[in-house]
Structure 1
Amino acid sequence: MGNRSGLTGSYSLALRATALANARLEDPADVWVLLADQPWLRDIATEADLHTLRVAGHRLREVFQTVTAGHEREAVDRLNGLLTRYRVRPTISGTYAGDWHIHVAAPGTPPVEYLAAAVWGLAVWLCQRGIDRLGVCAEPRCHNAFLDDSSNRCRRFCSDRCATRNHVRAHRARRRATPPLTAARRSRTRSAVSNGTRTLTAKIWQLHTMGNCADLHRHSATDHPLRHPRAASPLC
């Protein structure tokens, strides 16, 4: 298999490990989904390979969960166990000057080699980018594993969809928890605006009957409650 290691190569292999951690792998159809970008490998996968991939995926998921729980040493031990179980044979390969790269191979069937390269890539990426880059989605209905490639290491969700869903739920919860006092305050504000409008109308009518156009324009420009800075928002 042409698996290249390095920062870019290890990221693609680490993504493979993440996909394995999230895969259900309950039947051969799930293997087809997992290996959609590897049709030649998908076509030769056996029931034994399905079992191997399922067990390894479960153990990879435990690595992500252990990191999220704050047990970094345990997570490293788990990943080291996978490296021991699925050993790789890294070799330098290339076809022309400047193309030298690490080629990751492993003993066993092609699906096992695929798995071993994924474990290797996750280990390399962890050491290069930091163990805190491994996460589990904070959306309660998801919990997918993900790699945090953000610039400030603050990612909490596996996708924009999960982030939006979580934020919408939190917003609705805050609205339901709004105390009655806020609603009463809004009612008082609307009442104050209404009273101010009636007062302004009375002033305009008084000025109109007195024929004082200068004062009429001055009050129209400054006294309307919707133009007054304190009444600009009904939520203030």
Structure 2
Amino acid sequence: MVTPLRLPTETVAALDAVVAFATAAADGTLDDAAGLDRAVGSMQYTGARTHDDLEAQQVRDVVPALLAMWDAERDDVPALANAILRTADAAPQLVRHDGIDWHLHAVDAERPLAERIAVETAIAFVDIIRLGETDRCKRCADPRCGLPMLDLSRNRSRRFCSTACQSRVNVAAYRARAR
């Protein structure tokens, strides 16, 4: 029996955050506090924020660990997620705040933002591993892009992170055929 995809809202938010932080790191806009604030945007990270360049550097430095989970084979992800959870002394607890219904927080809200991001991402990967949905974490098929993207399409058919990348590949293919 096939059941429809139903990921918790906070899982999708954490995975979308990986995409946003990886994109910002790749284009060099995660190098200072202002860039981090733009990348965080309307994401609902509760708890302490220093809003300084050191915080931005710590978030930028955690992006490779997040992408390691993103790119790993399904059976390799648990070791990566567990390492993050162990390092942070994570103790999952159900919380409800800011109009968001019950969801998991695994570290204290006063811990550094980069650590909270890593732990929330690890928890999100726990969810998608258990659901067998790790193949929804993809890379853009445009060879000039390769940014991470979350495929929430019904049949897992999404290939590009944006219509710009899709158009660029389609135009290149059209021109190659026309030659």
Assess same fold via TM > 0.5: yes
The match for 2:81 among 75, 79, 102 is: 79
Higher helix share: 1
Q: Which residue of 2 aligns with 1:142?
A: 145
1:11 paired to 2:16: no
1:128 paired to 2:131: yes
- State the AA in 2 paired with 1:168: V
Q: Which residue of 1 aligns with 2:121?
A: 118
What is the total number of aligned residue pairs between the two structures? 164
The match for 2:164 among 161, 166, 174 is: 161
Which deviates further from its counterpart, 121-130 or 140-149?
Answer: 121-130
Match of 2:62, SS state, is helix
Distance 1:21 1:86, change over 3 A: farther
CA contact (8 A) 1:21 1:57 kept: yes
CA contact (8 A) 1:14 1:119 kept: no
How large is the Cα RMSD of the aligned pairs? 3.0
Distance 1:123 1:163, change over 3 A: farther
What is the Cα deviation at residue 42 of structure 1? 9.3
- State the AA in 2 paired with 1:59: A
Determine the C-alpha separation between the residues in 1 that align with 2:150 and 2:93: 26
CA contact (8 A) 1:23 1:57 kept: no
- State the AA in 1 paired with 2:12: Y
What is the CA deviation profile of residues 159-186 of structure 1, one whole-angstrom value per residue up to 9, with x for unaligned ones? 222112111111111111xxxxxxxxxx
Normalization by structure 2: what TM-score? 0.74
Larger Rg: 1
Q: How does 1:29-48 map onto structure 2 within 5 Å?
A: 29-37=34-42, 44-48=50-54
Q: Which residue of 2 aligns with 1:92?
A: 94
1:28 paired to 2:33: yes
